[in-house]
């Protein structure tokens, strides 16, 4: 058994997810507020885990639910959950990787695929590949995916937990320790919960995907280059990355992991800048950068994140741009004049 799956046999991992109220409420509301989409339909739950999403689908009126789970959780937990809720006539728990699963002979394809596949910075763990495999092999034409769209955001930010805290730790100055700690953390992304005041910008779209048509190959490498103008003054110490997913239906539901939203177990992914690149910025300061998110050559379930600071004097700015550089101020003024004529 792949270690990825055996790690998910730790019930404390599932406890963390089940106690995540924004996560739970998003899936519950997306399914229960759109019961008409599920009534008498065939549903597949990819990576069913404890089976709770399969239970939601059955309670929403699904005729048949395939709860496909690769880990031993399928037989140890999911079966129990389905039995104790009296749903065995609707939910069929299948202990299998989705890539090895086959629909029963003469069985129809599914109307809806439900999955909670998201990892840190959305793509960590690479489970979306399995959902796309299920989509390509088991979903009917015009079928639905829950969630159906996802967006990755990025914003320049401060990381006060790596700076201010260490000035005085119970009366002891630990700035030199903090310098070494920041050096270590600047070599890999930091999973942490930022406060809204730590953001220097509300966030811009780094990448957007419609899960009905994105391919697994498109997930191998994602590049993004932009110039953003800070919306508040502050210390630029890193880049904050988070995601949102949207569910289909008349009652649209969005699950956000933004610092501006209620905290989730995903928190945010922060790429910490080397200390020599940190600086105090005024409001409307231009920040030019490039991000590369690329699958690790050693493990396709993991990604390498690279952030490169660029020269805002050289890079092309969006139009209009609200930064304080003269060329952008003149461009913005010119556009306003054109609007009034």
pLDDT in 10s for each residue of the chain, 341 residues: 567 777 878 899 899 999 999 999 999 999 999 999 999 999 999 999 999 999 999 999 999 999 999 999 878 899 999 999 999 999 999 999 999 999 988 899 999 999 999 999 999 888 999 999 999 999 999 999 999 999 999 999 999 988 888 999 999 999 999 999 988 888 888 999 999 999 999 999 999 999 999 999 999 999 999 999 999 999 999 999 999 999 999 989 999 999 999 999 999 999 999 888 999 999 999 999 999 999 987 788 888 999 999 999 999 999 989 999 988 988 877 777 777 65
Q: CA-to-CA distance for 50 and 78, rounded, in angstroms?
A: 5
- Residue 45 inside a domain? The answer is yes
The catalytic position among 83, 100, 125, 149 is 125
Indicate which CATH number applies to the domain containing 108. 3.40.50.150
Kindly state the tokens that stand for 286: 């231009």
- Tell me which residue range forms the domain holding 8: 3-116
Active-site hit among 116, 149, 190, 226 = 116
Encoded tokens for 273? 């800048």
Judge whether 132 and 209 are in contact, CB under 8 Å: no
Active site residue 218: no
Nearest in space to 47 (alpha carbons), one of 153, 141, 125, 103: 125
Q: Is 314 helix (H, G, I), strand (E, B) or coil?
A: coil
CB 115 within 8 A of CB 129: no
- Please name the residue ranges forming H helices in 60-212: 73, 79-84, 128-138, 175-185
Task: Describe the crossing of helices 21-32 and 52-59 by its angle, rounded to 10 degrees.
Answer: 30
Q: C-alpha angle 31/37/42, rounded to 5°?
A: 95
Is residue 68 in a domain? yes
Asked if residue 232 belongs to a domain, the reply is no
φ, ψ for residue 307, nearest 5 deg: -120, 130
Please, what's the largest Cα pairwise distance for the chain?
Answer: 72
Looking at the domain assignment, is residue 226 inside a domain? no
Residue 62 lies in a domain: yes
Confirm whether 258 is domain-assigned.
Answer: no
- Tell me whether residue 69 is one of the annotated catalytic residues: no
In a domain, 105, yes or no: yes
- What's the total number of domains in the chain? 1
In a domain, 161, yes or no: no
- Taking only the tens place, the pLDDT of each residue in 14-58 is 999 999 999 999 999 999 999 999 999 999 999 999 999 999 999
So what's the pLDDT on residue 267? 98
């Amino acid at each position: 058994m792949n270690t990825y799956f055996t790690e998910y046999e730790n019930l404390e991992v599932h406890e963390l997810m089940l106690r995540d109220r924004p996560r739970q409420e998003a899936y519950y509301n997306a399914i229960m507020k759109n019961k008409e989409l599920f009534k008498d339909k065939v549903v597949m739950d990819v990576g069913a885990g404890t089976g709770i999403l399969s239970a939601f689908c059955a309670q929403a009126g699904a005729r048949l639910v395939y709860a496909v789970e690769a880990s031993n959780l399928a037989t140890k937990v999911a079966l129990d959950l389905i039995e104790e809720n009296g749903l065995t006539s609707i939910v069929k728990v299948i202990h299998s990787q989705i890539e090895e699963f086959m629909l029963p002979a003469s069985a129809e394809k599914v109307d809806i695929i439900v999955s909670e596949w998201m990892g840190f910075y959305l793509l960590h763990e690479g489970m979306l590949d399995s959902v796309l495999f299920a989509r390509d092999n088991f979903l009917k034409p015009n079928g639905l995916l829950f969630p159906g769209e996802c967006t990755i955001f990025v914003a320049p930010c401060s990381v006060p937990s790596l700076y201010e805290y260490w000035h005085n730790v119970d009366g002891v100055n630990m700035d030199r320790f903090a310098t070494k700690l920041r050096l270590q953390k600047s070599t890999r992304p930091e999973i942490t919960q930022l406060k809204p005041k730590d953001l220097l910008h509300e966030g811009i779209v780094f990448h957007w995907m419609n899960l009905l048509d994105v391919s697994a190959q498109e997930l191998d490498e994602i590049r993004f280059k932009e110039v953003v103008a800070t919306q508040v003054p502050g210390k630029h110490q890193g880049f904050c990355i988070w995601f949102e997913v949207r569910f289909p239906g008349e009652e649209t539901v969005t699950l956000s992991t933004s610092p501006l939203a209620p905290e989730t177990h995903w928190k945010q992914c922060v790429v910490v800048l080397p200390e020599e690149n940190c600086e105090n910025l005024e409001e409307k300061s231009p920040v030019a950068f490039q991000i590369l998110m690329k699958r690790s050559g050693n493990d396709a379930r993991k990604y390498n994140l690279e952030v490169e600071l660029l020269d805002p004097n050289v890079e092309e700015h969006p139009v209009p741009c609200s930064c304080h550089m003269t060329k952008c101020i003149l461009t913005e003024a010119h556009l306003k004049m054109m609007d009034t004529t």
